[in-house]
Every structure is written in C-alpha cells, then in structure tokens.
C-alpha cells in the first residue's frame, strides 16, 4: 500500500547512516594511506592532503569498491591516477580547500572528528559543485550538436567520442551499451546513432 511518512523517514535515516558510514570508512583509509592515525593532530596542510586522498578515493571509487579491505598501498595507487583520470581535479581541490576553510576557519590543526566534520560538509556541497560541471558538459555537447534534419538535441555518436579522442574531454567515453541502458542513445537511424543531450547532461 506504499509508504507512510514514518516509513519514509526511517528509510531516509537509514540511507543517511549508510552514506556516513561509507564516508567514515573512506576517511580512515585516507588517514592510513597518509601514514596517520586517528589520534594524530594534523596541521592544515596535512589535513588538506588527507582530504585530497579521501576525495580521490571517492571519485575513483569504482576502481576498487572494497573499502573494508583496502590497503594503504592500494589507496596510494588509486590516488596517483587522479590527475590523469579526472582532469577536473584542480578545480575539485579548490572546492575542498574552500570547504575546509569554511568549516574550520583559522585553524592551525585539526583532530580526526574535525576532519570528519569537513567531509560531512563536502558531502552536502558536492552535488551543487558537480552541477556546475554538468552544465559545462551540456555546453560542450551543444557545440557539437548534429546540424542535420532531426538532429536537434542530439550528438552523433562519432562526434561524441571524438570529443574524448581529439579534444581531451574524457567524460565522453561511455560505451554505447551504457548509453543505451541510460536511455541516452537514439538508434532510430541505425546508420547514425546519436547521443541524446538531455540524457547525457542530466
């Protein structure tokens, strides 16, 4: 018969708890990878490096989803690929620094629970930060929109991949199967499959 307000509240609370637990596990891995213990008091610079490690594990989490068994060596290996795998990393680092300064202003050192507060705020703000990136993707797609009849709102699949291959826009590299699963692939003309911009930008 559906869910009442109480059941929805319990579901939301459960999901929030799961997200917090995963974030905390990722932070513990980041501390370990940087050779810190949770009892250590970190300088602003040290905590910034921990946040970088944390965020790289979040962004590239699909590489290794087993946080419970992730070693420091594996975390460092994943982090070492962030610049190549995620060209928007410098902007993300700036986002991290701004968030840290707003949560812990004028602090020369941070305890573990304070760094935990920073990652909680990062989680709250990251969606808005990503929305800016999403709008940028949409602008890129508009620039290569199919000009032929019936091409409005669509990008030829070849042009889509061309952005990744020739223009360094690595974001446009999803497989045709994945785009199809998203409902973002128009194959009404089998000789000219096209990516639906609305589906990709959202």
Q: What is the pLDDT of residues 119-145, one digit of tens each?
A: 999 998 988 777 666 676 777 777 788
The tokens for 120 are: 């909680």
pLDDT of residue 42: 96
| pLDDT tens-digit readout, 135-182 | 767 777 777 888 887 777 888 888 888 877 777 666 677 778 878 877
Q: Per-residue pLDDT for 198 more than 60?
A: no
Q: Is the pLDDT of residue 30 over 90?
A: yes
pLDDT tier at 39, thresholds 50, 70, 90: very high
Reading the block at residue 159, the tokens are 């042009």
Q: For tokens 């999901």, what's the residue?
A: 15
Q: Write the DSSP assignment of 75-109 as a string of letters.
A: HHHHHTTHHHH-TTHHHHHHHHHHHHHHHSTT-SE
> Any alpha helices (H) in the chain, and if so which ranges?
5-33, 44-59, 72-79, 82-85, 89-103, 112-143, 157-167, 176-182, 197-201
Q: pTM higher than 0.75 for the full model?
A: no
CA–CA separation, 88 and 6 (whole Å) = 40
């Amino acid at each position: 018969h559906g869910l009442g307000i109480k059941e929805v509240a319990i579901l939301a609370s459960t999901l929030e708890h799961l997200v917090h637990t995963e974030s905390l596990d990722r932070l513990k891995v980041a501390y370990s990878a940087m050779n810190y213990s949770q009892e250590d008091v970190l300088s602003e610079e040290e905590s910034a490096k921990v946040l970088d490690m944390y965020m790289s594990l979040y962004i590239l989490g699909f590489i290794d989803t087993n946080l419970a068994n992730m070693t420091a060596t594996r975390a460092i290996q994943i982090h070492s690929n962030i610049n190549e795998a995620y060209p928007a990393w410098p902007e993300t680092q700036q986002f991290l620094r701004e968030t840290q300064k707003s949560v812990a202003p004028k602090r020369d050192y941070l305890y573990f629970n304070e760094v935990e507060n920073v990652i909680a705020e990062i989680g709250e703000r990251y969606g808005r930060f990503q929305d800016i990136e999403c709008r940028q993707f949409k602008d890129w797609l508009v620039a290569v929109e199919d000009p032929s009849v019936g091409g409005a709102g669509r990008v030829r699949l070849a042009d889509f991949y061309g952005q990744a291959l020739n223009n360094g826009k690595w974001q446009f590299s999803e497989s045709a199967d994945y785009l199809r699963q998203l409902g973002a692939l128009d194959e009404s003309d089998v000789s000219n499959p096209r990516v639906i911009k609305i589906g990709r930008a959202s």
